[in-house]
Each structure stands twice: as structure tokens, then as C-alpha cells.
Structure 1
Amino acid sequence: MKNAKYIIIALVALMACKSEKKQNGSEEAETTSLRQETIKKIDVHAHFKYERDYFKNFFNKWNMQGILVDVSKADSLGIGRSWDEYLILSQAQPDLFFLCTSLIGVGIDAPDFADRQIDRLKHEIEQGARMVKVWKNFGMVTKDASGKFIQIDDERLQPIWDFLEAQKIPVMAHIGEPVQAWRPLDDPNNPHYGYYKNNPEYHAFQHPEIPSYETIIKARDNWISRNPDLKILCAHLGSMSHDVDMVAERLDKFPNMYVETAARFGDLVGQDSDKVSGFFEKYQNRIFFGTDYGNSSPQEGKTEIELEDEEQDLQNDYNRLWTYVSSKDSVAERGQKNIGLGLSEDVLRKIYYENVVNFLELQ
């Protein structure tokens, strides 16, 4: 009896210890038995600008393809893009990469602005573009001739949305920034601290002339509402990644809206794992896997060791995100620590692959 008493006490202590570890995000016992290579994948938001010798083996190892997402930026030299480089890479590796072109509002006051943009988009769709990206320059950077920031719901853009709807070409929309862009940069553990420290031009807190977060999100919502038959993929969890309830509210309101996760896993890790897991379960048909991973310099000039390190870093990055979504292991991402989501195999197959295939009609 005395031994039984000690056994019971030991079991209670063990359970208490496990509970404490789970609360602290340090439990390591609940690893999924599912191997990542058994799940087909498409990284819906990638920026691999230049070829790498290791790409074919790497992507095959991950059973993965990627969508190369163009971004249009304007500076004193004109509009800069990566379309030509992405086109070259996709043509060299057609089994690995798809294309997404882009749109910017520079020159919107010209009477033929919409017509010229539609002509360009027609050509790039013929070259293989499956989506069109609009970036945060709408709402935060680009102004019209009157000096007003161009919001995404500007009526002068409507002919372009009508064209894309008719062509069944979706829009990837990175409109706005995380709400932290409008807050002081005072917490190094903030998932976005490093980005705004290195890119202060997008730290809206330092630029009171930039419209408020609420103004930009309202314009984005108005645009989605006005175009119910246009499929819209809101990049970076719709710039609402700090609060999955906020994302859920929009998904409930707008049937044509979808979201992807690129560069926002730190925000997800910082929220209650059960809540985030429930969000993925409920909206499993409308969430896509994306990373924002890429490269920005040619392979030429890089040493073999540099390329090996680059490949290993990429392997570690994809593996860390896989651990977060597929297991209950502890994970750290952009200054946040928590346990993983432990999503089911069915949900993983959807967010990694099936949802993108259905959205872009790849079959």
C-alpha cells in the first residue's frame, strides 16, 4: 500500500510537471509522425529572384513548388520590378515555379492609365502570370497629382479589377502593414522590430503624413466588398496577423477573400496556440501557406560554402514552420515562443497545396 501511495504521488508530480512545461511552451513529446515530404506543397509567396544549382533537389526534397511574386516599387529612377528575373527563372524551372505579376498606382491621373496597365497585364498573363500583386504602396506611399495617397478602393482602378475578374485572374493584396507599424519601436521582441528598424520608411509611427491603419484597412475592406466576384488573396494574413479574430471577422464577411501566412508566423506564435489552431481548423479551405523567402543576388560570385550555408538556412526556415503547423513541439519565431498547432493531415494538405490549386485552377 505504501509503495502504491508513492507511485500515485510520483504520477501526480509527473503530470504537474508536464502541465507546467506545456504552459511554458517547452513540451517536446508531442512530435507528429507525419513526414513533411508526404505533403505536396506550394509556397504561395516566394521571392527567389535568381537561379541556384540546389533548387531542383531542394524543392523536390520538400515536395514543393513556389509562386514567384513580383513587387512594383517607384523611386527617383522610375518603377523597379523583378518580373524579368522571375520570368527567366520560371522558364528555366517550369516544374518548380509559377508567376505572379504586379500593379502600382504611379501615373493614375493619366486618362489612359487603366488601359495601359491592362495591356501590360494581358501580355504578362500570356507569359504565365497566375495572379497580380498590389503592394502597400497603395495607401502608404504612392500619391496622385493632388497629393493624396492612392487607396486600393480608388475608382480609377476599377476597370483593372473588372478586367482581372473577366480573365479569372486573382489578386494578391499586401495592403497596409501590421498594426505595429503605427506604434513606437520600443520592444526588440516585437516580431516586426527588425524590419522597421531596417526599413524606417515604412514605420508609419515616424511618418504622421501616412494615413492611419484603420483608414487603409477600411479602404481594403471596401474594395473587397465592391468586387465580390474577384478572388482576392490577402497577403500576410491581411495585415491583421496580430489578431486572428480580426482575420476571421473578414473571412466571415467576404466570401471572395482568402489569406496567406508569409512573414507573419511570429505574430501567430505570439497568440494562444489553441486559438490559432481553431482558426486554421475553421478556415482550413481559405488559408494558404506562404513564407516571403527568396534571394536577391545572382549565384555567380558566391563560394561553394556560401551556397551551402544559404541552402541550410533555407532548410532550417522551412523546417521550423513545418514544426509549428504540424506538431505540438515548442517553437521560437521572431522573438516569440510557444507550442505548435498540431494540425491534422487533412488540414495540412489543404493549406500547403489543395487550396492554392483550387484558387488558381492549376488542374
Structure 2
Amino acid sequence: MKNYIYLLVSLAFIVSCKEKWNNDDEKKETVALDKKSIKKIDVHAHYKYDRDYLQDFFEEWNMKGILVDVAIEDSTGIRRSWNAYVDLAQARPDLFWLCSSLIGVGLSEPDFAKREIERLTKEIEQGAKMVKVWKNFGMVTKDANGAFIQIDDERLQPIWDFLKEKGIPVMAHIGEPVQAWRPLDDPNNPHYGYYTQHPQYHAFQHPEIPSYETIISARDNWISKNPDLKILCAHMGSMSHDVDMIAERLDKFENIYVEPAARFGDLAGQDSKKVRTFFEKYQDRIMFGTDYGNGRSQDSLTDDELQNERNELEKDYNEKWRYLSSTDSLEIRNQKTIGLGLSKAVLQKVYYQNMANLLKVE
């Protein structure tokens, strides 16, 4: 009996050591992985102004970026960054590609679709490889009858048909994190700072804004009506709080992809093993995005401010790299977590190959 017990204890010790060795080997592999060994595309960037350091910085990260235009409706009309992005992409053609935008202002006018298709045709000729729609649909823009315009509005269908014909994907930031419909009572909430600074998008304060469920349902209906339209759901499809919810849509809709720009805090707040399993299962459908950029010209910055800006970018990109590639202990937007430690093969898809395949670029 003693020999039997000794044998069991010995076997348990061997298994424990083997698991430790495997884990140590995996950790060494992920931590030692050189960031430059993986090509990257930041699929969700907003570098409005050029910087002297941009060339070296992007080369150090072995990275390119997509300059994503946003059409914003305010009291002055529609504001865009398209012309600035075109200028930067032309100045740095080896660093950046372009993404145009669409907003629903004027949808009730009979020639709306025709006008927008003509504009998008010109911007595709200028280099746009995607078109972005964002939370104006569902949360801000209204039609002539005063109704919030949802993304599945049938009056938009000619535009989706046009983009399908041209082979142009849509980047869709529809809705907001579910926390936008909740009170801001926890400063550790990853979205506390944003909604404190941008109360117009804190739907909890604006009961006239349709519910989260209404907007997500309209988004899903739009996707189902356009199975041949490639759709990149920005910010994890506004479902970043629950990877199971994202997985459900990825299983249901074969034409969609997701990227986590500005939502890494939501991922970090979930169980790392679960998030890692999600990334591994959907490794062909997830892309890397950050939402990083700048909003001031270089001439308006002091040398110290410019250096601090670069340092902050380095810190932020490195934080995402550690979260995805290592098993380090991290804190992202007040959420303590363990890095996912994704394999090199998965990292190559998420950081680069998936987007390169979608846009048909090298």
C-alpha cells in the first residue's frame, strides 16, 4: 500500500513538473518574441497630422496604419478629416492606407444615395480601401421625420450594393459599449473617463437615444441583409464586454470581422484563458486596431510635448503587444489581467495577415 501511495505521489510530481516546464517554455517563447518579427497593420488609426518621428516609429514597430476618417455631425454641419488624411497618406505612402466615411445626414432627400455614391467613387479613386460608418447611426443622426436613423435603413441599401460591387469593405462602429447605457458610478470602469469627457454619448443621460439592444439588433439585421458585404466591426462590435456575445455573431455571420481598438480594457476585465481561447478559435477573423492618433499640428507642439507624445505612443503600443504576445501581469484601463501569450502564428494573423487579405494588399 505504501509503495502504491509513493507511486501516485511520484506520478503527480512528474506531471506537475512537466506542466511547469511546458508553461515556462511557453512563457519564454512569448516574452522573447521580438516585436519587429511580426508585421503589423494598425487597422484603426487617426494620425491627422504628420510627425518627424512617424517614419522611424512605424519602421521600429514593423507597422503600417489605416487612417480612418470619421464624419461627425454637429451644430456647424459635418466635420471630417479626409483631406488631412489624404495629404498624410500621400506624404507617407509606405506607412498609411485610407478609409473614407459615410454619415446619414440628408438621408430623407431623394438624391442622397446618388450623391454619396458619387463622393465615395472619387474618394476610392483617391485611395480609400474601406468606408467607415459610426455611432451617428442609431445614436445621433435623425431623418426628416425626427427618427434616429438605424444602420439597416433600407434607404442606405444602394450604397451597400455599390460597395459590394467595388469590393470595398465597411468599418462599422455601430453603437457603444453597453456601459454607455449604465450610470457612471465606478471610476475604475474602463469607459469612465470617456463618458465623463463626452457626456453626449453617455446614453444613460439621454433617454431619447434608442436602447443598446435596439441598435445592436439593427446592426445585426443590416449584416444579415448584406451577406456579400465584408464588414469589420470596430471596437469588437460594441460587444467587447462579453467575448461569448462576439463569438455568437462571428458564428452567425460569415462576412464579419472584429478589432479591439480602445476596448482592450474590456477584454482585460474578462478571464484571460477565456479571451485567449476566443482569439485562438477566431484567429482568422480578428484584427489589430488601437484608435490612436493625433489632433494637433507639429508646429503647435514644443519639443518636450513632441517627445512625450512619442513616448506615450511607445508605451501604449507596447502595452497591447505585451497583452497579446506575453503572459505578463498587466493593468489595462484599471483592469488587472494576465497577457494572452498568443502563438507567433496567431499573432501574425491578428496583427497583419487578416487585414492584408481583406484589403488585398502586401
Please report how far the alpha carbon of residue 139 of structure 1 lies from its aligned counterpart in structure 2 after TM superposition.
Answer: 0.2
Task: Tell me by how many angstroms 1:29 deviates.
Answer: 7.8
How many residues in Structure 1 have an aligned counterpart in Structure 2? 345
Counterpart residue number, 1:325 = 324
Determine the structure 1 residue equivalent to 2:262: 263
- Is the contact between residue 114 and residue 159 of structure 1 (CA under 8 Å) also seen in structure 2? yes
> Counterpart of 2:277?
278
SS of alignment partner, residue 297 of structure 1 = coil
CA distance in 2, matches of 1:300, 1:267: 35
1:309 deviates by: 0.8
Provide the residue aligned with 2:167 in structure 1: 168
Match of 2:3 in 1: none
Runs of 4+ in structure 1 off by over 4 angstroms are 28-31
Distance in 2 (CA, whole Å) between partners of 1:179 and 1:185 is 12
Aligned pairs for 1:131-280 (under 5 A) are 131-280=130-279
* RMSD value, Cα: 2.0
Deviations 1:75-125 (A, max 9, x none): 121100000100000000000000000000000000000000000000000
Residue identity opposite 1:267 in structure 2: D
How many angstroms apart in 2 are the aligned matches of 1:75 and 1:211?
A: 19
Percent identity for Structure 1 against Structure 2? 70
- Secondary structure at the counterpart of residue 299 of structure 2: coil
> Could you state the TM-score of these two structures normalised by the residue count of structure 1?
0.92
Matched residues in 2 for 1:142 and 1:346: separation?
A: 42
Q: Contact 1:285–1:355 at 8 Å: present in 2 too? A: yes
Rounded to whole Å, the distance in 2 between the matches of 1:287 and 1:218 is 21
* Per-residue deviation, 1:305: 1.3
Please report how far the alpha carbon of residue 301 of structure 1 lies from its aligned counterpart in structure 2 after TM superposition.
2.6
Deviation at 1:362, TM superposition (A): 1.0
Which deviations, in whole Å up to 9, do the C-alpha atoms of 1:298-351 show, x marking residues without a partner?
A: 000311111111101000000010000001001111110110000000000000
- Is the Cα–Cα contact under 8 Å of residues 30 and 329 in structure 1 kept in the other structure? no
Letter in 2 for 1:322: W
Counterpart-to-counterpart distance in 2, 1:31 and 1:175: 34
> 1:145-164: CA deviations, max 9, x gaps?
11100000000000000000
Unpaired segments of 5 or more residues in structure 1? Answer: 1-7, 23-27
Is the counterpart of residue 359 in structure 1 residue 355 in structure 2? no
Consecutive unaligned residues of structure 2, counting only runs of 5 or more, are 1-8
Change (3 A) 1:94 1:30: closer
- Given that residues 30 and 343 in structure 2 are in contact (C-alpha distance below 8 angstroms), is that contact kept between their aligned partners in structure 1? no
Q: Contact 1:42–1:352 (CA<8 Å) still a contact in 2? A: yes
Name the CA distance, whole Å, in 2 between partners of 1:75 and 1:154: 21
Q: Secondary structure at the match of 1:332?
A: strand
Q: Secondary structure at the match of 1:288?
A: coil
Question: 1:88 aligns to what?
Answer: 87
Supply the distance in 2 between the matched residues of 1:146 and 1:335 (Cα, whole angstroms): 43
CA distance in 1, matches of 2:36, 2:28: 21
**Separation in structure 1 between the aligned mates of residue 127 and residue 305 of structure 2, nearest angstrom:** 32
The alignment partner of 2:195 has SS state of helix
Report how far residue 33 of structure 1 moved. 1.3
* Residues 30 and 328 in structure 1, CA contact (< 8 A), matched pair in contact too: no
Letter of the 2:211 counterpart: S
Match of 1:25 in 2: none
Q: Which letter maps to 1:96?
A: L
Question: Which TM-score applies when normalising by structure 2?
Answer: 0.92
Equivalent residues of 2:30, 2:342 under 8 A apart:
no
Residues in 1 aligned to 2:128 and 2:34: alpha-carbon distance in whole angstroms: 32
SS at 1:197 equivalent: helix
